[in-house]
Structure 1
């Protein structure tokens, strides 16, 4: 059985405001309900996410929306303010990521998939992976180490539509039942008012909330529950390999869904 760390601090390390709500909002709610301290961070402020407002005004609006959504569940929102749509993996963005993790000292990190439709998502996943591994090294930052700092459990959230950048299906390792959390998750996503208009105008996507609900229902059907979020655990050297999310929130899967729920 997985050992539950004494320090129960989780970080959702995402690219844009609203990514956490879509990808792992239900799981974050469950963690808070389980006594965990939860932080939501975005590497960018989503400043390209408007057809009409300036980058500065768009960033301000989206920061406020991200803060409101986090506050709704008792989480804390952070933003690294890297440029939306032009995110790069370099020393500056990595050091900013390390500094954030150094101060939060998470023992569980959920970041974005390393292969997804949006390059910002992929680079965020790379930053989340790298910062998770090194933040607790004494020489990685001038900030003092928080007691209990360690290489955390690391998970990648689902790709858009459950596929990677080439449209190939992602096979999850972990399925979390969010049936009871779906309504509150929907309220979190509804805080991102600016994004419905943006997605409708730029991508031709409407039904911002119901699209999320339908996808969680689709993943849930694969796991034998009404609604689910799925993840791929990073089990490489140095990171804990036992599935702490599945231990905290075990799911009763049908025989046809065991490969996803109990992978």
Structure 2
């Protein structure tokens, strides 16, 4: 049996992502479950998504994508934010980091899901770096001029799945944590469908003909890893200073007493 996890008194989750549809693809089902459990949920797109069109200019594309992100978040009662960094040209510098820290200060999350540190898109990797850094330092009083909210702390930190479950070199990711999203899958896809502008873009630029179908299929594939219909996978950041007990698995267990029967799941507990 795993040790019981002390759930934070402040129940605020932040999905800190690179582009306006990344949260829905990678952790939408988990965010739905958190909202149902009474957590306050925030979704942040670090970039404005302004390169996500083959036809419209950057300002119009960014406006469209911000609105799509807002509508998707509203479906589950979440709040959407963007840092308006340039899509496809995100860099890790002091300005981007300070904007990230300031956003963390305003939200004061106790649970953060960000992007993999190794993924096919450099924006994803840099977002993961920004999310990691901001998570660690935002509660330090001198890190930001934004007011320090009572209950701010170094949060639980998870990296979401990479595209197709592999890293930037095509090496399969070994998740520490799976969350079943069978009952949430249809709403997850409905959230993703709010990003209608990406249908043609992904077909033309990334060669993905139907990303709603692709997202559903990957959810089923991750579910197959643990013997359920649909799941999302994460790697928990357990470095010094961050909580190392697996909060997500404690909140949403899919196995109670027999994890030892499946060696591939033991890292999740």
TM-score band (shorter)?
over 0.9
Out of 37, 43, 54, the position equivalent to 1:34 is 37
Distance 1:258 1:50 in 2: 44
Distance 1:22 1:261 in 2: 25
Distance 1:257 1:179 in 2: 20
Deviations 1:121-171 (A, max 9, x none): 000000000000000000001111100000000000000111111000100
Deviations 1:223-256 (A, max 9, x none): 1110000000000000000000000000127777
* 1:157-236 alignment runs, 5 A limit: 157-236=160-239
Deviation >6 Å, runs of 4+: 253-256
Distance 1:43 1:257 in 2: 37
Question: Is 1:93 the counterpart of 2:103 in the alignment?
Answer: no
TM-score by length of 1: 0.98
Deviation at 1:178, TM superposition (A): 0.2
Question: Is 1:260 the counterpart of 2:230 in the alignment?
Answer: no
Q: Is the 8 A contact 1:224 1:254 kept in 2?
A: no
- Return 5+ residue gaps in structure 1 as ranges: none
For the residue of structure 2 that corresponds to 1:193, the secondary structure is coil
Q: Is the 8 A contact 2:155 2:242 kept in 1?
A: yes
Q: Is the 8 A contact 2:29 2:181 kept in 1?
A: yes
Q: Is the 8 A contact 2:259 2:265 kept in 1?
A: no
Note the aligned Cα RMSD (angstroms): 1.2
* 1:110-129 alignment runs, 5 A limit: 110-129=113-132
Distance 1:94 1:27 in 2: 26
- Return 5+ residue gaps in structure 2 as ranges: none
TM-score by length of 2: 0.96
Out of 48, 52, 68, the position equivalent to 2:51 is 48
For the residue of structure 1 that corresponds to 2:109, the secondary structure is coil
Q: Is the 8 A contact 1:174 1:261 kept in 2?
A: no
How many matched pairs?
263
Distance 1:251 1:112 in 2: 24
Question: Is 1:60 the counterpart of 2:63 in the alignment?
Answer: yes
For the residue of structure 2 that corresponds to 1:145, the secondary structure is coil
Say if 1:255 and 1:5 are closer, same or farther in 2 by CA, change over 3 A.
closer
Deviation at 1:257, TM superposition (A): 4.5
Say if 1:184 and 1:141 are closer, same or farther in 2 by CA, change over 3 A.
same
Q: Is the 8 A contact 1:115 1:122 kept in 2?
A: yes
Deviations 1:94-116 (A, max 9, x none): 00000000000000000000000
